Each structure stands twice: as structure tokens, then as C-alpha cells.
Homo-oligomer: A and B are copies of this chain.
Amino acid sequence: MNDTRLAPVLDRIDAELPAALDRLMELLRIQSISTDPAFKAECDKAAEWLASDLASIGFNAAKRATPGHPMVVGHGEGTGPHVLFYGHYDVQPVDPLSEWNTAPFEPVLQDTPEHGQVIRGRGTSDDKGQLMTFVEACRAWKAVHGSLPARISFFFEGEEESGSPSLIPFMKENAEELKADIALICDTGMVAPGVPSIASQLRGMLKDEFTIVGPRIDLHSGHYGGPGLNPLKEISRIVASFHDKTGRVAVEGFYEGVHEISDEMKRQWENCGFDEKTYLESVGYTRPHGETGYSTLEQQWARPTLEVNGLWGGYNGAGSKTVIPSKAHCKITCRLVGDMDPNALRKKVRAHVAAQLSPDAKVVWDSDLEGSPAAVMNTERPEFEAARGALTDEWNREAVLIGMGGSIPIAGFFKDVLGMDAMLIGFANEDDAIHSPNEKYNVESFHKGIRSWARILAALSE
């Protein structure tokens, strides 16, 4: 890359870093917890702050009402390719407050031995610090050149941490306004510290919940122990039947639509800088526990799962209770890859459970819940190659296409509702403690994140 427009923008970003951090601190002080109605006014205030900040850079930006927390939409006046940048200004609750070493909404800069300077506070990494990297990149371009290198629109949401109830209706109502050439999303992380990463595939998700009903009422385990069917034993047998001894899911037809990843992708993942040892040891594992024959990264990014997230029944208080409970409960989630169809999968899982049932046992399923297929980004688009080059230049490390074990539905929504591809680039680190006490964002992520976006905008508009 040899874009003479870029150097002064990067210089400006470096010089402006203290001011950019001050602006981020202002946004971080707003307690925009979206799940808790007590913070409704704070959410509104964060939206107001963002609309006003975008306006100060010359965007035609406004807070937009929804039945829940407001969206913020802003449009720039540039020409060239049209990109829509997405981020969310709401944050997770802060409890347990006692485990924070600083006040969650009084962000501070701290020097650390491992990461250099970090910004500590709720929302630093998820997602206020990340979304401001893009805003600051625009601000620097505008300040240096008087205009932006592309046609840029912003779309900020305030309900990402509370299920995004207003998102799809709002996107549908404002489809023409929001549609661009591509969506840029800054809400993901890097596969390893210092390794610029573009998320090219995200697993989908299927949620379900079932109850096993045995006897009509709770029974005394003395009077009925022996002849009595125990739903806790029944549900354990069913859960145990979900996997075979190799860790493969034993539900018939479960792997329909799953594709083996290409050798090229395998090679990239093997060299992406992922630190398997740290990933496993940091949580107490000496080895991966998924399907035999697949690497840890493949198990996490490229293989589907059937996971149990909750299991309960009977007595769980202090001491003992001699009960055979009437009911036992199980919450499951499946992670989907490739072309797995969530609705078809739900039927297969339910059929598997039905086939395991003992006589006199019944299963009751929760009313149907949403499922979303896996999302595979369209990495053939030229924007991906442009972004890889820009990121490689900034980080002095080849940018990699990574998978993600989690599910970020927004990319799928852009595709389904607006017919628009998305590119997910983020600068968070695994140890940022998002959703947890003492959340932080490395100043390096913030600073080089802003510079990365400046470079990407240059590359996209070449």
C-alpha cells in the first residue's frame, strides 16, 4: 500500500490519542446497562452522546426511537464505496460489584506488566472502546483532509446485551436507508495478542429445553425407591446418550450439512497464532475434550456441538431429602456450522430424546425457541483482501481469517434482512473480561484499532 493520503491521518491519530481517550472516557461514564429498566435514561444519554459526537464530525446523525432503547443512525457526505458501520453502546450489568477493583463506570488508565497501558471499566472492550476506534478513524480523516474517503453510515444499537428485540423490526422499517455495499462490525477479538484477525465464520445456535416427567407427584424414596421410575436417572441416561465415546454427537443425522474445512483453512488456522496451551490451561484443562480427530481450534470453530447449559431436579438445599422428584429439567444449546438447518436439527434432537424414554416417562419441550444457522462470510469479496493488507501493514503480522465458536447474529441479520455482506474486525483480547468484573481494553488495541480502520478506509477507497 502506498497511499499518500494515509500518512498524515496516522500522524494525526497518534497526536490525538490523549484526546480520543478522553472522549472514550466520557462515553464510558454513561451507565448504559440495557437489561435493567433503572438505567433507561442512561441508555438514552449514551445514544444522545453518540449522535452529538457524530454530528461534530459532520455526520447527519440522530437518535432514533424504538419501543426499547434508541438506535443512532448517521450518514456522511463522502463518495465512493458505501459502508455501514455497526456497534452497540449498551453494556452488561456490573454485578458482582464486590469483585471490581475500580468503580465500573469511573474508567481509569492503568499500567500493567503484561499489556502496557489499559483502560479499565465496564464497556471498555464490549463495545464502546471498539466502536470508538472507527469513529476516531473518521474524525482523523475528516480533520486532515476535510472529507471522508468513502461514503460512510453509522448504525449503533442499544439492546445488544438484552436480546436486540427492536433490531430486526427497525432494520426492516429502515431497510433502504441502512443498506450499503458492505457492513463493517467491530465487536470481535483477535485470535492471539497482536495478531490482526478477521472473523470469517461464526457458529449458529439452537436453543431448547425439556422436562422429563416421571411420577405424578414427588415420591418418598423409601416407599418408592426400587419400583419407582426416577426422572433424575432418566434424564442422566438421556444426556449421557447425546455423545458417543469419541465425543461425537450420537443424535441421528446431527452432522447433516457439516463440511470438513479445507486444507488451506486448516493451514491458516494452524499458523494463526492461537495459543492452545494457554487457552486450555487457563481454565484448568490439560487437553481438549471434544471430538477425537479434530484439533482444539477445529472443535471450537468448525465442529457443531450439543451442550448442556443447565440440568436440575429434586432437592438441592442443605442436607438430604429422601425424594424421588416428579420432574427433571435440562437446557441445551447446539452450535451449528456449515449448512446445518436449525429447524431440522431441533426435530432430530427431539426424536433422539423420545427414542430414549422409558415406559411411564414423558418428555415436555419448551415452546419453540429461535435458532440461527452458521454464518460464513463472503471472503471472496475484494474488501476482505483490502482489509487483510491494511491490517497486515498496521500490525506487522499477517492478518488471519479466523473462525469463532460463538454466535453473533447481527452478521446473519444484515444478510437476511438487507441482503448485505458483513466483515467482522475487532481488536479485543481473550483476557479482556467482557461481561465480567474488571473489564479492560488495551490502549494498544484502541490506538492501533483506530489506525487499522484509517488504513482499511484508505484501502477500500483506492
Residues of A within 8 A of B (CB): 203, 205, 207, 209, 214-217, 219-230, 232-233, 235-243, 279-280, 282-291, 296, 299-300, 303, 305, 307-316, 320-325, 328-329, 331, 333, 335, 358-360, 369, 404-407, 435
Contact = CB atoms under 8 A, between A and B. Distances in A.
B224 A405 contact: yes
B236 A311 contact: yes
Closest 7 pairs (CB-CB, A-B): A222-B406, A226-B299, A236-B239, A227-B288, A310-B314, A216-B284, A226-B290
Given A217-B283, A237-B239, 13 more contacts: A215-B283, A215-B284, A215-B285, A221-B335, A223-B405, A226-B288, A226-B305, A227-B289, A230-B308, A232-B310, A236-B308, A315-B331, A322-B406
Given A309-B315, A311-B312, A285 B227 contact: yes
B309 A221 contact: yes
Given A236-B239, A289-B229, A406-B220, A331 B316 contact: yes
Nearest to A334: B225
A325 B312 CA distance: 13
A285 B407 CA distance: 42
A37 to B, nearest CB: 15
A333 B329 contact: no
Contacts of A329: 316
A407 B287 CA distance: 45
A282 B289 CA distance: 44
29 contacts: A205-B322, A220-B406, A222-B406, A222-B407, A224-B283, A225-B307, A226-B288, A227-B288, A227-B300, A228-B290, A229-B289, A232-B308, A233-B242, A235-B236, A236-B239, A236-B240, A236-B311, A237-B239, A239-B240, A284-B360, A286-B359, A287-B359, A308-B314, A310-B313, A310-B314, A310-B321, A312-B313, A320-B369, A321-B331
Nearest to A221: B307
Contacts of A407: 222
Interface centre among A240, A313, A369 (most CB of B within 10 A): A240
A230 B247 CA distance: 11
Nearest to A362: B284
Contacts of A369: 320
A118 to B, nearest CB: 20
Nearest to A288: B227
A325 B309 CA distance: 7
A39 to B, nearest CB: 19
B286 A307 contact: no
A219 B405 contact: no
A209 B405 CA distance: 34
Contacts of A232: 239, 308-311
Contacts of A320: 207, 209, 309, 331, 333, 369
Contacts of A358: 289
B226 A291 contact: yes
Contacts of A359: 286-287
Contacts of A226: 288, 290-291, 299-300, 303, 305, 335, 405
Given A227-B296, A285-B228, A316 B312 contact: yes
Nearest to A222: B406
A225 B335 contact: yes
Contacts of A205: 222, 322
Nearest to A247: B226
Contacts of A291: 226
A188 to B, nearest CB: 11
A299 to B, nearest CB: 4
B311 A328 contact: yes
A286 B360 contact: yes
A233 B240 contact: yes
Contacts of A280: 227
